[in-house]
Amino acid sequence: MRSQIDLDERSHLAVVLRWLHHVATGLQQLHFSEIAHQDVKPANILVMENQTAKIGDMGRAHRHAMPMNHVKQERDPTYSAPELLYGGIVTSFDDRCAADMYAFGGLVFFLVTGTSLNAELTRELAGMHHWSVWSGTFEEVTPYVRRAFETVMLRAVASLDPSVTQRLALVMRQLCDPEPLHRGHPANRSGDGPRYGMQRFVSAFDLMAKGAEWRRNRVA
């Protein structure tokens, strides 16, 4: 995916949103099969000749209720969820799905802003609150992470394409909320479907992609 993102400006948004629709669909299919990918990032997304995007590199993937041989592998901090960066322990399949959701949101953030969400968080966090030096619990540092997140999101929203700003900003907030219990679509969090279900995000990216494709074709 990294080698494909320098596209003609007019078609960039439509192509990127369709890629994200494909990746969200793939992640939904994995989770439905009780598999967490655990390493969603641009380097692991494959773009086919027909511009279909697929999730690759299953080296860190975990199937629910099966033992893992790579628990201690170092994580990529660029797309890892905050609870993992601050030393949180994954104890359930839901935890893994929540982390996948954040990583996917980080992919969204990167493709629509050109920057890394976690890198932007680093810029806003005081040195003592950075995950590389923090010695307290994740719960204790959460207010500082949330404050940094809100600042980053306000700056990111200002840079978005006006045609999708409101919907895309909402989706990014839902995917990337620093606290896993607040992450995901509100309807899922209230009990209407799997807590970290991707279906509503699949639909959202499909609708945004269709709109961007229509606008692109209209001026072509």
pLDDT single digits (tens) 165-216: 999 999 999 999 999 999 999 999 988 889 999 999 999 999 999 999 999 8
Tell me the pairing of strands 62-63 and 35-36.
antiparallel
pLDDT single digits (tens) 20-79: 999 999 999 999 999 999 999 999 999 998 889 999 999 889 998 776 655 555 567 899
Domain parsing of the chain, residue ranges: 2-65+73-219
Q: What is the DSSP string of 131-166?
A: TTT--S-HHHHHHHHHHHHHHHHHHHHHTS-TTTHH
> 2-65+73-219: what CATH class?
mainly alpha
Token look-up 């992450």 returns 183
